[in-house]
């Protein structure tokens, strides 16, 4: 099948209410239900057809009643308020997964969502340091999130951990972090010291473009 020519290279953070080392990455059931979290994409370089997407940000809040693959999900998407009409339409097309090969990233996630609330257009505040494993994300009156290194339970020192998935659809490699996040509005949640990751990823119409995160360490 032919899809709109597209590619987004982005800094990505994501969290969930599971313990560190989310079981979804290894196929067991979640450690906590409902499965809740927030995430964000900061597009460094991107396009959808003739529409450039460089510098735009997307954030989201999500919740599933049980394991993600069982569906029943709810989501609230936030689109950067700097977006033009054409860019907004392009981002919605990407996020829906309708212009992506079945059983790849956005298409997989979209298939698990039963209820999507009206998108919010607002400033998305985002800071990201892959090397230090720190990040912050906020959208006023919608969500707040901070990521920091996982700490050694005995010494309190920074504990570095990575997950590497050669065939992963969300990432190939990601730095693990400890996440604290809240959201309000249509999906309300509050969690601390939960699973989080930071990565640099590139997505196209046929899923993830294979690459290492490490050339982007200092971006």
Distance in angstroms (rounded) separating the CA atoms of residues 1 and 75: 28
What mean pLDDT is predicted for residues 152-163?
Answer: 94
Phi/psi-derived region of residue 185, left when phi > 0, alpha when psi is between -120 and 50, beta in every other case: left
**What pLDDT was estimated at residue 218?**
44
Q: Are 95 and 160 in contact (CB under 8 A)?
A: no
d(CA 27, CA 117): 28
Domain that holds residue 58: 6-213
pLDDT at 213 over 70: no
Residue 78 forms part of a structural domain: yes
* pLDDT value, residue 134: 98
Q: Is 74 within a domain? A: yes
Instruction: Pick the closest to residue 46 from 5, 101, 84, 76 (CA basis).
Output: 5
Summarize pLDDT for 39-82 with one digit per residue, the tens: 999 999 999 999 999 999 999 999 999 999 999 999 999 999 99
**Element holding 136 (H helix, E strand):** strand 134-139
What pLDDT digit, counting tens, does each position of 81-118 carry? 999 999 999 999 999 998 999 988 899 999 999 999 99
Q: Is residue 102 part of a domain?
A: yes
The total domain count for the chain is 1
Q: Is residue 218 part of a domain?
A: no
pLDDT value at position 105? 87
| 31 found inside a domain | yes
pLDDT at 94: 95
Domain-located, residue 114: yes
């Amino acid at each position: 099948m032919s899809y709109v020519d597209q590619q987004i290279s982005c800094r990505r953070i994501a969290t969930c209410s599971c313990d560190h080392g989310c079981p979804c990455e290894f196929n067991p059931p979640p450690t906590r239900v409902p499965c809740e979290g927030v995430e964000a994409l900061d597009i460094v370089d991107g396009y959808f057809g003739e529409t450039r997407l460089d510098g735009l940000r997307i954030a989201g809040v999500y919740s599933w009643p049980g394991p993600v693959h069982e569906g029943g999900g709810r989501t609230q998407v936030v689109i950067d308020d700097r977006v033009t009409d054409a860019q907004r339409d392009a981002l919605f097309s990407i996020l829906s997964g309708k212009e992506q090969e079945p059983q790849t990233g956005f298409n997989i996630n979209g298939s698990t969502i039963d209820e999507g609330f009206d998108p919010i257009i607002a400033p998305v505040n985002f800071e990201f340091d892959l090397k230090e494993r720190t990040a912050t994300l906020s959208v006023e009156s919608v969500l707040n999130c901070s990521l920091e290194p996982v700490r050694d339970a005995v010494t309190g020192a920074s504990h570095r951990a990575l997950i590497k998935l050669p065939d992963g659809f969300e990432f190939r490699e990601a730095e693990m972090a400890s996440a604290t996040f809240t959201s309000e509005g249509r999906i309300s949640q509050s969690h601390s010291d939960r699973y989080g990751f930071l990565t640099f990823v590139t997505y196209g119409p046929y899923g993830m473009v294979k690459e290492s995160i490490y050339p982007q360490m200092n971006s």
